Amino acid sequence: MALKLPGRVHVGAGGGLSLLLCLLALLPLPHAAVSVVTHLPGFDGPLPFHLETGYVSVDDATGTELFYYFVESERSPATDALLLWLSGGPRCSAFCGLAFEIGPIQFPVKPYDGTLPQLAVNPNSWTQVASILFVDSPVGAGFSYAHDPKGYDIGDISSSMQMTTFIRKVGGSTTLCFIRQRNYN
């Protein structure tokens, strides 16, 4: 199943910029390449949820690529809300949201024994009621990168433009869009 973004929009935290990003998602552009992940190291067996990952090119001049994880709602992907989760900040990956906060996996709390850390299903995952798009933004966060070092010289406006390009490239149709950003300040 391909990544889909909002058709009808409601905006959560984030205000006017969030509304702009959601509205721009309505414009049709080509979809990004998708990798479906069915197994993760440390998780026994196949994943019981739909997980896609990939890169989306957001600035051709600097070769900037934003990395994302997309987890489809476990309830009703066609009608459930879509949540855009941005962790942000230097070297902070959206993986934190996926594995430590609201995502469908978690690390069981137990003493480290020198082996591969284990993953388990998060019984309180927000993916029980919504699809979640976790994005490593701005460039330099998590697995997002730029081929040209000039690509890392960004601020609020250029970062917002990169997210606008990202959303436009992965656009589609879903019911709702809520945007949540956790800053590093």
- CA gap 104, 122 in Å, rounded: 5
Res. 91: pLDDT tops 80: no
Q: Tell me, what's the pLDDT at 92?
A: 82
Q: Please give the span between the terminal C-alpha atoms of the chain, in angstroms, as a whole number.
A: 36
CATH for 16-36+49-105+119-181 is 3.40.50.1820
Tokens 């552009």 found at: 29
Q: Residue 100, by phi and psi: left (phi above 0), alpha (psi -120 to 50) or beta?
A: alpha
Alpha helices (H) along 68-177: 95-96, 156-169
pLDDT band of 183, cuts 50, 70, 90: low
Assigned token pair, 25:
């998602």
pLDDT in tens, 29-83: 344 567 999 999 999 999 999 999 999 999 999 999 999 999 999 999 999 999 9
Q: Tell me, what's the pLDDT at 111?
A: 93
pLDDT in tens, 116-147: 999 999 999 999 999 999 999 999 999 999 99
Distance set, CA 129 to CA 14, 140, 170 (Å): 21, 30, 21
